[in-house]
């Protein structure tokens, strides 16, 4: 199945020999309200989303929803260096041009995305991972950096966790390289649970795991597992890893990796 499709509607998504994307709907399977599901991994997926919206409109569909659990470009929500584009604004303008009835997103990187999208509905991380059962009253929630602290505090409040410890992280804005990650408090002999929205390569969480070696146990939940270096980067250093299939629709649970299915 394509990463981008119309929920419960037969459609074909393909590329022409020259590389252009194309879509084709079976109008006999259309419903009163159509939902485009978009697990966006690349620019082709964005074009597929736009073309499916156009095809639905031409088929007479008036109400179209978009389910886009992982919002691409959400981390590019500010201009750090001269000459850069405000990428999230460009992407959200494309989505808004489709005039979707509702846009469902999950654990956005920042409020910038929510402010830029029209008719948006947002599932917070605490809701996404509400099924996880732990002795939260004896668990310390770890925020991997100051930017994630607000979400970590909300997660801890919703779960009734023991407390929150934040790590200081320094990143080179020119190269994107992480220079260091350091805990602000000791978590020796504590059960700890790291929460964050995105794991791309996993570098931050590897450095953080080094800081958590004296913890009694360490688990991690990332809403959007991109895992460009494989899931083993995290599963090899954390006791359990929780994520969703927001980016990889076919991702399955195995060993100490637990995958919650979005759709």
Residue 248's CATH number: 3.40.50.2020
- Report the SS3 class of residue 185: coil
Let me know whether 51 and 140 are in one domain: no
pLDDT digits (tens, 9 = 90+) for 106-115: 999 989 999 9
Predicted confidence band of residue 23 (pLDDT cuts 50, 70, 90): very high
Among 93, 123, 153, where does a domain finish?
Answer: 123
How many CA atoms does the CB half-sphere of 1 hold within 13 Å?
16
Q: How many CA atoms lie within 13 A of 46 on its CB side?
A: 16
State the total domains in the chain.
2
| 69 and 154 assigned to the same domain | no
Same domain membership, residue 16 and residue 82: yes
How much is the average pLDDT of 205-227?
Answer: 96
Average pLDDT over residues 32-36: 94
Confidence tier at 63 by pLDDT (50, 70, 90): very high
Query: What would the pLDDT profile of 117-158 be if each residue is shown by its tens digit?
Result: 999 999 999 999 999 999 999 999 999 988 889 999 999 999
Among 82, 100, 123, the domain boundary falls at 123
Q: Clarify whether residues 187 and 135 are in a common domain.
A: yes
pLDDT of residue 67: 98
Q: How far lies 46's CA from each of 88, 173, 200, in Å?
A: 13, 27, 19
Q: Based on the fold, state whether residues 134 and 119 are members of the same structural domain.
A: no
Is the same domain home to 134 and 112? no
Confidence (pTM): 0.93
The confidence score (pLDDT) of residue 172 equals 72
Q: What pLDDT does 138 receive?
A: 98
132 and 147 inside one domain: yes
The mean predicted confidence, pLDDT, of the chain is 94
Between these two residues, 172 and 206, which has the higher pLDDT value? 206
The per-residue pLDDT for 173 is 65
The whole-number average pLDDT for the span 194-203 is: 94
Whether residues 114 and 143 share a domain: the answer is no
CA-closest candidate to residue 56, choices 14, 100, 16: 100
Closest CA to 238 of 258, 256, 260, 226: 256
In terms of domains, do 159 and 251 share one? yes
Same domain flag for 140 and 98: no
Count Cβ neighbours within 10 Å for each residue of 84-97 and write b for 16 or more, e otherwise: eeebbeebbeebee
Residues 75, 158, single domain; the answer is no
Give pLDDT, residue 181: 86
Residue finishing a domain among 80, 107, 123: 123
pLDDT of residue 178: 78
Domain that holds residue 231: 127-260
Domain shared by 132 and 255, yes or no: yes
Percent of the chain with pLDDT over 70: 98
Mean pLDDT of 52-59: 96
What pLDDT is stored for residue 146 in this prediction? 87
């Amino acid at each position: 199945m394509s990463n981008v499709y119309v929920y419960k509607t037969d459609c074909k998504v393909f590329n022409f020999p020259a590389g252009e994307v194309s879509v084709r709907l079976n109008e006999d399977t259309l419903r009163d309200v159509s939902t485009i599901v978009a697990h966006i991994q690349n620019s082709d997926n964005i074009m597929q989303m736009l073309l499916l919206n156009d095809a639905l409109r031409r088929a007479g569909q008036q109400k179209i929803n978009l389910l886009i659990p992982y919002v691409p470009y959400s981390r590019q929500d500010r201009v750090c260096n001269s000459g850069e584009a405000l990428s999230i604004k460009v992407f959200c303008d494309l989505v808004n041009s489709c005039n979707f009835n509702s846009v469902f997103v999950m654990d956005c990187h920042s409020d910038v995305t929510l402010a830029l999208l029209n008719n948006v509905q947002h599932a917070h991380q605490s809701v996404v991972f509400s099924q996880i059962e732990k002795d939260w009253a004896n668990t310390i929630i770890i925020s991997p950096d100051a930017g994630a602290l607000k979400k970590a505090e909300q997660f801890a409040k919703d779960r009734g966790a023991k407390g929150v410890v934040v790590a200081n992280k320094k990143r080179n804005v020119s190269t994107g390289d992480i220079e260091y990650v350091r805990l602000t408090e000791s978590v020796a002999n504590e059960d700890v649970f790291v929460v964050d929205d995105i794991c791309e390569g996993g570098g931050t969480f590897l450095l953080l795991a080094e800081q958590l070696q004296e913890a009694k146990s360490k688990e991690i939940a990332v809403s959007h597992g991109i895992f460009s270096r494989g899931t083993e980067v995290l599963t090899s250093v954390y006791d359990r890893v929780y994520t969703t299939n927001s980016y990889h629709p076919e991702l399955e649970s195995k060993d100490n990796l637990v995958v919650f299915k979005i759709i």
